[in-house]
Structure 1
Amino acid sequence: MALLNSAKREINAKIVFFGAPCSGKSSLLRFIHGKLKQEFRGPLKTAGGSQERLFFFDVMPPELGEVNGNRVRFHLYTVHGEVADPATWKMVLKGADGVIFVADASPDGFAATRRSLEDLREIFRGYGQDISTLPFEMVCNKSDLPDAVSADDLRCELGVDATALPCSAVTGEGILSALSRVVKSVLRNLRDRQSSHCGGVEGLTEDVEETRDDAVVAQPPGHGLAFDRSCVSLQEPVSPVGAPQLSLVGTPTVNGGVCRMTLAVRAGDRESRYTLTVALDPEPTDG
């Protein structure tokens, strides 16, 4: 679900590219990232292990307009490689505002594509949702292959009640069109929600703290935990930012046998501060 950052006057919305392993999800995301103007998109980031890695970045092109005076920042995600733990996809899909399903149009890709679509539907059923209620597009990657299955045939065989676009991570066919359609649908949903609340954005979850670009998965696998109040982006996994550094802020104070000091924990470009309170007991002396 899109989240509102009142301090920055931004709405953060999440779009996930979902599909079978080797369907080309991460290649599509790389293509999109390379086509967008640098001043309107963040860096392409990765997180995770060698077997499955999260790819994500954010984009806020000015032509999208605003929703009740708030700019809309879109966060795009996918998982690369074999996903051994289903909780990984559950984590990434939780709170998604739109989904682009990547079907494999190669002759040998149908079975894996069918399984991945069933997995997608099952994950959303677990959240009490149906993908038919979300902005949803199906792209048939590898359509540039000479023996590729047609997009219409794939859509019919899979029983997808949505348009299927031929797509190629090599030529770029269909990728930006599918993304544009989902983005417009998400914006339409946000504006409809605005209208239903008399021009406000009360229908959005709000947090006025600073947005952390790499803190979009608010919970570990299962995701039933509460959000960190400093996180107002889209429930994405936290990206490694290097070893944290601890430093003392200001001068410790001593009052009534209690010492108080402020500690700063810095990791990358993020900093959190904590107050450490220590009771001082006099050391016993001989005699």
Structure 2
Amino acid sequence: MGILYSSCVPNRDCKIVIMGLEGGGKTSIINWMREGKALEEPPQVTYSFNYFECSKFGYNMKMFDIGGTDRKTTFWRHFLSGAHGLIYVVDSSNFTRLSEAREQLHKILGFEAMHGVRTLILANKMDLQDRKICQVASVELIRKELGLDNSFHQWCIEPCSAVTGEGIMTGLRWAVQGV
């Protein structure tokens, strides 16, 4: 009976907003979410927003990829309204932009629409250290630099790689839990 019942329950709808500084890997991560593989060609910069839908883990997700420039902050509130989750992508190989990422993240979390919204930080490009290309920031350093201890939001940091796909689905599953 339980198996039959669970297969008849319709998927739940949820809205996920994906943000982060340009060059962090948002578009590549989205490709893993949609296609289950890395991009074949380098992605283009997102100047406005991209919208897509996907069904995973029993959820119909409406996902908005918002371009990473600060000039568009006046439009953010339209995308953030009604969001169930925020996925914020950080380039863990770029130590110099962590303070900028912190400013942007706290600006986003400061919107009234974001109160109580689950926040997933995807610490992208972790594979660069494994491949001995460069050093990357640890999860602990990212947590500290982003000032997450002072946040009232429910948050999680998931190390990931948009090249290998490692950590992306684990993070996405956490982001939609309890929606």
Residues 83-124 of structure 1: CA deviation (Å, up to 9, x unaligned): 5221232221111011112122122321221121122122x2
Hey, what does 1:165 align to over in structure 2?
158
Percentage identity across aligned positions?
Answer: 29
Letter paired with 1:26? T
Hey, what does 1:175 align to over in structure 2?
168
1:32/1:51 Cα in 2 relative to 1: closer, same or farther (>3 Å)? closer
Using the TM superposition, give the Cα deviation of residue 157 of structure 1 relative to its aligned residue in structure 2, in angstroms: 2.3
Q: SS of 1:55's equivalent? A: strand
Q: 1:98 aligns with which of 71, 77, 85?
A: 85
Letter paired with 1:100? I
Q: SS of 2:136's equivalent? A: coil
1:26–1:79 Cα contact (<8 Å) kept:
no
What TM-score, normalized to structure 1?
A: 0.48
Hey, what does 2:34 align to over in structure 1?
33
Hey, what does 2:99 align to over in structure 1?
111
Aligned pairs (5 A) from 1:1-287: 11-35=12-36, 52-61=47-56, 64=58, 72-80=59-67, 82-106=69-93, 107-122=95-110, 124-125=111-112, 127=113, 129-130=114-115, 133-146=116-129, 147-161=135-149, 162-186=155-179
- Aligned-partner Cα distance in 2 for 1:139–1:84: 23
What TM-score, normalized to structure 2?
A: 0.73
- Aligned-partner Cα distance in 2 for 1:145–1:104: 11
2:16–2:86 Cα contact (<8 Å) kept:
yes
Bigger relative contact order (CA 8 A; separation at least 6): 2
Using the TM superposition, give the Cα deviation of residue 81 of structure 1 relative to its aligned residue in structure 2, in angstroms: 5.0
Larger radius of gyration: 1
Gaps of 5+ in 2: 1-9, 38-44, 130-134, 150-154
Give the strand-richer structure, 1 or 2. Answer: 1
Residues 182-210 of structure 1: CA deviation (Å, up to 9, x unaligned): 12231xxxxxxxxxxxxxxxxxxxxxxxx
- Aligned-partner Cα distance in 2 for 1:108–1:156: 14
Instruction: Give the alignment's Cα RMSD to 1 decimal.
Output: 2.4
Using the TM superposition, give the Cα deviation of residue 10 of structure 1 relative to its aligned residue in structure 2, in angstroms: 6.8
Gaps of 5+ in 1: 1-8, 37-49, 65-71, 187-287
Letter paired with 2:47? E
Give the helix-richer structure, 1 or 2. Answer: 2
Letter paired with 1:169? A
Using the TM superposition, give the Cα deviation of residue 145 of structure 1 relative to its aligned residue in structure 2, in angstroms: 2.4
